[in-house]
Amino acid sequence: MKAYINANIYTLDDNNSEAGYLISESGRIIELGRSFENSKYFKSMREEDIIDLEGKTVVPGFWESHIHIVDGIRALTELNLRSISSLEQLKVKIEEYAEDLGKDDWVIGHGWDEVRLFGGSFPDRELLDRLHKEHPVMLVRMDGHSMCLNSRAIELMRIEAMGESSEVPYDKTGKPTGMLFENAANKVAQEISESFSDSYLVKLILKAQELYLQNGITSVNDICTKYGRLFDMYRKLQKQGRLKLRIFSAPHGEDQESIEQFDERKGDETDSLRIGPPKYFMDGSFGSRTALLFEEYADAPGQKGLQLIEEERLKDILIENEAINQPITIHAIGDKAVSIILDCIEETRENNHRDIRCRIEHVQIVQDRDIERFRRFDVTASFQPVFLYEEELTESRLSKARFHKVYRFKSFIENGVNVIFNSDFPYGGGDMPEKKDKGRYIGFEPILGIHAACYNQLNPAEAVKPDQALKCYTANAAFANYQENYSGKLKKGYFADFTVLSEDILKCSPQKLLDTEVLYSVINGEIAYMK
């Protein structure tokens, strides 16, 4: 039994919204109240089991409901391109990175932005060859929806065998340019990641856990892990007591092998490790100009993006999953992509509506008429507030004339839609602000997301209040995962998962919010991180 006392606790429980202490036992909350001295456990508790929080603010543990655990840490530990702004600097970084590689090892970089690094145009194999040709090179764009390969990588991955298409463009010489988009890019990335050793992946998982706990995250949706192998690693680490996080790991919906591998593991689910809904992709991204729009891109006349799933196929997917009472998660950034998904849901569910909580991820631009349809079909709107730092990119792709249709957080909430906030790390996001310690935010931190949603809106009419943003990182995320009776709030019988903060984030100034530090992350009533 543990008691956390002398605190400013926001429970998010409508019947008991604030408290001064909470007591946990066997991983669950057994009591909350205003004054610990009035607790029935006050006289019986050992002094060493009482933690004085000295008036600090407590909120339910943050839920990172859309993140890529392994790829996120790879983006930080492999060649990180986000801070590189010239070809000269890139060449030096690649050479330094390649010094410790074997002759057949890959140079893998993450996070390039064509405006910052390549003069506004996508790179090609010839440019990468000039930078480095001794090793195969794969540089992934910051949105994860496109990449560029050098000639050696093109040969090793047999890119010419894919044939020319919108996802594998060729140049005037009849050869692949080196740029790959969407499914083609994903295929290459997955083939490379299959070669990683278990020991390397375990190292990445534990490093990710360290970063998440330092930022108050206690539950994670590893949104599209594809391989059951990762689920097995999570399970093994949790059995060993090395992994504290609650993880919802999900397969890739269009990969039958992935679906089968996760189906085989459903018997291994626990309170701390569960299988989430399969993820599908309706379109791409703004950055790669593959998000599916009703109107053409402002900086690419005639282009409206890519539709990755045809309507009839999506209807089949919805019907097949609904037959087994399973929701799905669908990536859709463009307004046309979102509208097509809702059309298909309407056609397949209007006569057979059940509690099937599908999610649409990103919804970066949306038509007015579609907001109400999210509520009518109980579809969760999953947003990444950190993408608000992509102001220049959003303006170049859409123009400011369409800003009133982007990032419609407030409209969705006021229409009764379940809204969740997350990061999609390592993808997306622009220049991050400074932290209190003069370092910079990385891009997945819930405190950063709350600040962006409340105070950094590109569409100011859609800014939300801090208490609304907090619910999007806690109670609403729990609901999206069918955990509303166990998680996302602090109340009797719920998991004792909570975060202790240096500031009262519901009342402090915008700058104080950015300066907020996580002091403790608590999971199952036990301190998993302490500053």
181 and 282 co-located in one domain:
no
Other Cβ atoms less than 10 A from the Cβ of 120: the count is: 11
Selection from 384, 399, 470, 499 nearest residue 430 by Cα: 384
Round to whole Å and give the CA distance between 3 and 378. 38
Give the tokens for residue 334. Answer: 């463009």
Strands 137-141 and 107-112: parallel
171 and 310 co-located in one domain:
no
Sign of the torsion formed by the C-alpha atoms of 441, 442, 446 and 452:
positive
**Do 376 and 400 meet the contact criterion of CB atoms below 8 Å apart?**
no
**Do 6 and 20 meet the contact criterion of CB atoms below 8 Å apart?**
yes
359 and 459 co-located in one domain:
yes
| Domain of residue 167, residue span | 86-193
Q: Is residue 27 part of a domain?
A: no
Residue type, 90: L
Q: Is residue 437 part of a domain?
A: yes
Each as own residue / partner, the long-range contacts of residues 132-136 (CB below 8 Å, 24 or more positions apart, any chain) are 132/91, 132/94, 132/95, 132/98, 132/107, 134/98, 134/103, 135/98, 135/101, 135/103, 135/104, 135/105, 135/106, 135/107, 136/106, 136/107
Strands 8-10 and 146-149: unpaired
Please report the pLDDT score of residue 352 as a whole number: 58
What SS3 state is found at 28?
Answer: strand
- Number of domains within the chain: 2
Count how many Cα atoms sit within 13 Å of the Cα of residue 524 in the half-sphere of its side chain. Answer: 10
146 and 290 co-located in one domain:
no
**Do 41 and 1 meet the contact criterion of CB atoms below 8 Å apart?**
yes
The C-alpha angle 186, 184, 162, rounded to 5 degrees, equals: 145
The C-alpha angle 156, 159, 160, rounded to 5 degrees, equals: 115
Q: Is residue 418 part of a domain?
A: yes
Give the tokens for residue 380. Answer: 């969760």
Q: Is residue 21 part of a domain?
A: no
pTM of the model: 0.91
288 and 147 co-located in one domain:
no
Q: Is residue 199 part of a domain?
A: no
Please report the pLDDT score of residue 176 as a whole number: 96
Please report the pLDDT score of residue 49 as a whole number: 97
Euclidean distance between the first and the last CA atom of the chain, given in angstroms as a whole number: 22
Please report the pLDDT score of residue 193 as a whole number: 82
**Do 510 and 451 meet the contact criterion of CB atoms below 8 Å apart?**
yes
CATH of the domain at 103: 3.10.310.70
Give the tokens for residue 236. Answer: 């093994």
**Do 71 and 102 meet the contact criterion of CB atoms below 8 Å apart?**
no
Strands 279-281 and 329-332: parallel
Residue type, 151: S
335 and 436 co-located in one domain:
yes
Q: Is residue 152 part of a domain?
A: yes
310 and 180 co-located in one domain:
no
Q: Is residue 481 part of a domain?
A: no
Which of 421, 443, 464 is a domain's end point? 464
CATH of the domain at 303: 3.20.20.140
**Do 176 and 129 meet the contact criterion of CB atoms below 8 Å apart?**
no
Mean per-residue pLDDT pooled into runs of 10, the chain (531 residues)? 98 94 98 96 95 98 96 90 90 92 89 90 95 94 91 94 94 95 88 86 96 98 89 96 97 93 95 96 94 97 96 96 93 98 90 81 98 96 96 95 97 98 90 90 97 97 98 98 98 98 98 97 98 94
Which of 193, 222, 256 is a domain's end point? 193
162 and 290 co-located in one domain:
no
300 and 425 co-located in one domain:
yes
Which of 161, 193, 225 is a domain's end point? 193
176 and 288 co-located in one domain:
no
**Do 331 and 283 meet the contact criterion of CB atoms below 8 Å apart?**
yes
What SS3 state is found at 63?
Answer: strand
162 and 304 co-located in one domain:
no
**Do 380 and 418 meet the contact criterion of CB atoms below 8 Å apart?**
yes
**Is the bond leading into 426 cis (omega within 30 degrees of zero)?**
yes
458 and 352 co-located in one domain:
yes
Q: Is residue 146 part of a domain?
A: yes
Round to whole Å and give the CA distance between 160 and 164. 8
**Measured between alpha carbons, how far is residue 47 from residues 1, 5, 30, 57 in Å?**
11, 12, 18, 22
